[in-house]
Structure 1
Amino acid sequence: MAIEWKLFADLAEYAGEKHVAVDVSAGDTVEDALEELLDEVPELEDRVLADGDLRSQINVLRNGTNVLVEEDGLETQLEGGDELALFPPVSGGA
């Protein structure tokens, strides 16, 4: 099955697009989908990972829910129709 990643802010710039579809199988996890994304768009790896681990300031959402806070982290299992998103740190405002 295909899962779509939405990329925001500079992550979309690194990838050259805002949406990237990756192939995953039943029972795969968010981590599996992230690995597929980084295989598909290796330009993202240095921005998303540090020493092989997800950078602490990167947020990963599954269907609008932060998997790192409200689900099983990167071990969250995927289901058909899921939509994933990566958000870099956001700052600014007045």
Structure 2
Amino acid sequence: MPTEWKLFADLAERAGAKHVTVDAAAGDTVGDALEELLDEAPDLAGRVFDGDGDLRSQINVLRNGTNVLVEEEGLETELEDGDELALFPPVSGG
């Protein structure tokens, strides 16, 4: 079953879409799904990863509304059927 990423702000602009479906299913990891996303939208890579290939600290990765980097197993979090993934850039307000 394919997995859909929801992209926000400049990430959606770089990908050319607010929703991108990737070939990742239950048992794969969020990291696997992220790699698939970057295969589909390679312009995101420089915005999501730093020069060392590490996820930029200000990028938020959510699975079903939960930040996997804070509340789950990070990019090693396993996907389940029906998961919704989202990628957010830094959010600021004032």
TM-score interval, normalised by the smaller of the two chains:
over 0.9
How large is the RMSD of aligned CA atoms in angstroms?
0.8
Deviations 1:24-55 (A, max 9, x none): 14311000000000001000000000121110
**SS where residue 11 of structure 1 aligns?**
helix
Question: Which has more strand, going by share of residues?
Answer: 1
Corresponding residue for 1:83? Answer: 84
2:89 matches 1:92: no
Question: What code does the residue aligned with 1:77 have?
Answer: E
Between the two proteins, the alignment pairs up a number of residues equal to 93
**SS where residue 56 of structure 1 aligns?**
coil
Identity rate, percent: 82
Corresponding residue for 2:66? Answer: 65
Corresponding residue for 1:2? Answer: 2
**SS where residue 90 of structure 1 aligns?**
coil
Q: Tell me, in whole angstroms, the C-alpha distance in 1 between the residues paired with 2:13 and 2:47.
A: 11
Corresponding residue for 1:31? Answer: 31
TM-score by structure 2 length? 0.95
Q: Tell me, in whole angstroms, the C-alpha distance in 1 between the residues paired with 2:25 and 2:82.
A: 12
Question: What code does the residue aligned with 1:27 have?
Answer: G
Q: Tell me, in whole angstroms, the C-alpha distance in 2 between the residues paired with 1:92 and 1:28.
A: 35
**SS where residue 13 of structure 1 aligns?**
helix
> Unpaired segments of 5 or more residues in structure 1?
none
Q: Tell me, in whole angstroms, the C-alpha distance in 2 between the residues paired with 1:78 and 1:3.
A: 9
> Unpaired segments of 5 or more residues in structure 2?
none
Corresponding residue for 1:12? Answer: 12
Say whether the 8 Å CA contact 2:25–2:81 is kept in structure 1.
Answer: no
2:17 matches 1:52: no
